[in-house]
A and B are shown apart, each in its own frame.
Chain A
């Protein structure tokens, strides 16, 4: 892991939601750092709390029913959970930009694309309307949409999905933020467009030097983009480290389960994939032991009783698994084996 400056440091973030069924503990004590110019990928299945984590930092979860019960998110010495204004200006849209999953519904249908991009500049930079519009045209050209001047005066329904996502990126980068949060930016797009969008993001990152927090459940996207990876499960980080650590030296059974569930060229097209049996625990009453206990092929007795903490398994590589405890006598199968040949393939 490199020694670059930390731009965002999140400490012990906990988020709950009141529902008719009770309190959902969506995020249960998450801590991580985002470094300048690097990409942090947050992966995990639906409902694991990855989007809620970033949205609560951005103040986008509806409150009520949502509630941030503990935690800090330090940006330039200021806690964003408590105060979103830095020097009288909202950090959202200026210092931190955000791109969402579905570009078709994430843009205002009754405003032109140009106006929507220009708006950010008017609000945060004090640009005049015409200045901001001129800059918006440049930004549209920057995200490689041809005929930018004409496109700026068009409405979202006149754009394709890929172009809308490019516009979203242009909009979120308008004020040159130091962090870009991309919440499943390619999930709603088809595969060729996905690749273009990811390339665009990487090129822009090289050019502007911003940090990217990439939320996704697509490990292929992670492999392409990320420097660091954070695997979330049931509202907690279960493993974190560099991309090589997590992909090739996976130290948590859940990470390995995810890898085994992913199609790979080696296994061939006719090979069945290995799903992870069962479903995530009920977050109304999270289990007292390990959240993955019920589904884990390596589960031990103590996993049910004792909640594992994040254990160091290498330089900046952590795993929330009792198997990694110094006193554990068991070996983690699949460790150091890139393609997980040792995990039995179910038929």
Chain B
């Protein structure tokens, strides 16, 4: 198991390096640079600034400096915001984004597994038909639509009842987090429900579930120990990509609900070609995703002995 984890961590490190390199190349391939937004600038001032930020150095040299600094955990200073270190931005925005993302994932995974198991149990009956219709809706409607609708619904509800249980926007309390994370997790939850349903149906017809029944086990035990654990495996596999989908979708939801996460800084930075902020947030996000995927892999190993013992 330890070897398995170390192997996964090494792979993760290489992936992060790839992300960093790709971002660097992409940044420098885009026309313009962080200084091109400035007003009337004499060539002399421009040269001075370039020298100050190291932009006059050969690209390879810039890449080397970038990698060395990054390895030391230093993502540099923002080009456009005064006296702001990228690390400060991360420290401020990341916990908010991560909380939102993790809540959304937990909601999506729990909801998906429960609803999937439920629809499989009531196959082709009313609960199944209703939930599967909603699932199609959840998969096809993008999260920004749900975000806007959710916010509108909150406004109406709060106005009608006269008090605010779930605030319409902002961040700070648990109540602020509920609706945005539900909205963010909805699409993934719908997808996981479908997956869990088909997986559960498959497991129900397996020989080992028949064996469990022939042993005279109580239905609850068959469901939990023989069906659920085996049915959940494919769901765990897609959790990695699902985390990626949720965190990227998070940028939009953060904007709609005015949540002070990383999304806002990221979008701003791209518009202004703020090299350090873009690269810092991208690489940091990338590393976070890779870590989550590794955790998913480890969890998978815990659930399925074949993965744990053969790796």
Listed in ascending order, the chain A residues whose CB lies under 8 Å from chain B are: 58-60, 84, 89-94, 97-98, 100, 102, 105-112, 119-120, 123-124, 155, 157-158, 168, 171-172
With the chains together, A247 CA to B230 CA distance in Å?
45
CA distance A157 to B216 in the complex (A): 24
B15 within 8 A of A: no
How many angstroms between the C-alpha atoms of A102 and B211 in the bound complex?
11
Instruction: Give complex CA distance A109, B221 in Å.
Output: 16
- Structural contact, A171 and B210, CB atoms closer than 8 A: no
Enumerate B189-235 residues with CB–CB distance to A below 8 Å.
206-208, 210-218, 221, 225-226, 229-230
Q: Which B residues have a C-beta under 8 Å from some C-beta of A?
A: 206-208, 210-218, 221, 225-226, 229-230, 303-306, 309
Using A110-B304, A155-B305 as known contacts, say yes or no to A119 and B211 having CB atoms under 8 A apart: no
A22 to B80, alpha carbons, bound, how many Å? 74
Chain B residue with Cβ nearest A92: B216
User: With a CB–CB cut-off of 8 A, which chain A residues contact B226?
Assistant: 108, 111
Measured between beta carbons, the chain A residues less than 8 angstroms from B206 are: 105
Whether B211 lies near A94 (C-beta < 8 A) is no
Minimal Cβ-Cβ distance residue in B for A168: B211
The 10 closest A-B pairs by CB, nearest first: A90-B216, A92-B216, A93-B216, A93-B215, A98-B214, A105-B207, A106-B207, A108-B208, A155-B305, A106-B211
The reply to whether B213 and A59 form a contact with Cβ atoms under 8 Å apart is yes
> Which residues of chain A are near B306, meaning CB under 8 Å?
109, 155, 157
Q: Which of A84, A89, A93, A106 touches B210 (beta carbons < 8 Å)? A: A106
A96 to chain B, nearest CB (A): 8
Closest CB in chain A relative to B221 CB, distance in Å: 7
Question: B207–A109 contact, CB under 8 A?
Answer: no
Residue pair A60, B217 in contact (C-beta under 8 Å): no
Name the distance in Å between A334's Cβ and chain B's nearest Cβ: 39
Given A92-B213, A109-B306, 19 more pairs with CB closer than 8 A: A59-B213, A90-B217, A92-B214, A93-B216, A94-B216, A98-B211, A100-B211, A106-B211, A107-B211, A108-B212, A110-B304, A120-B217, A123-B215, A123-B216, A123-B218, A155-B305, A155-B306, A157-B305, A172-B215
Complex Cα distance, B217 from A107, in Å, reads 14
Q: Are B214 and A155 in contact (CB under 8 A)?
A: no
- For B304, list chain A residues within 8 Å (CB): 109-110
- Asked if A60 and B215 make an inter-chain contact with CB atoms under 8 angstroms apart, the answer reads no
B230: A residues at CB distance < 8 A = 108-110
Q: For the complex formed, measure the closest distance between the CB of A144 and the CB atoms of chain B, giving whole angstroms.
A: 21
- Asked if A110 meets B229 with Cβ closer than 8 Å, knowing A100-B211, A105-B207, the reply is yes
C-alpha spacing A58/B211, complex, angstroms = 11
**Contact (A102, B309) CB under 8 Å given A92-B215, A123-B216:** no
Contact of A100 among B207, B217, B225 (CB under 8 A): B207
Please, could you name 25 A-B residue pairs with CB atoms under 8 Å apart, sorted by A?
A: A58-B214, A60-B214, A84-B216, A91-B216, A93-B217, A97-B214, A105-B208, A106-B211, A108-B211, A108-B230, A109-B208, A109-B230, A110-B230, A110-B304, A110-B305, A119-B215, A119-B217, A119-B221, A120-B215, A123-B216, A123-B218, A124-B216, A157-B305, A157-B306, A158-B309
Q: CB-nearest residue of chain A relative to B305?
A: A155
Complex contacts, A94 vs chain B, CB 8 Å? 216
Q: From residue A119, how far is it (CB to closest CB) to chain B in Å? A: 7
User: Distance in Å from the Cβ of B212 to the closest Cβ of chain A?
Assistant: 7
A60 vs B226: C-alpha distance when bound (angstroms): 16
Q: Tell me the smallest distance from the CB of A43 to a CB of chain B, in Å.
A: 21
Give the chain B neighbours of A58 by CB distance below 8 A.
214
Q: How far is the CB of A116 from chain B (nearest CB, A)?
A: 8
Closest to B221 in A: A123
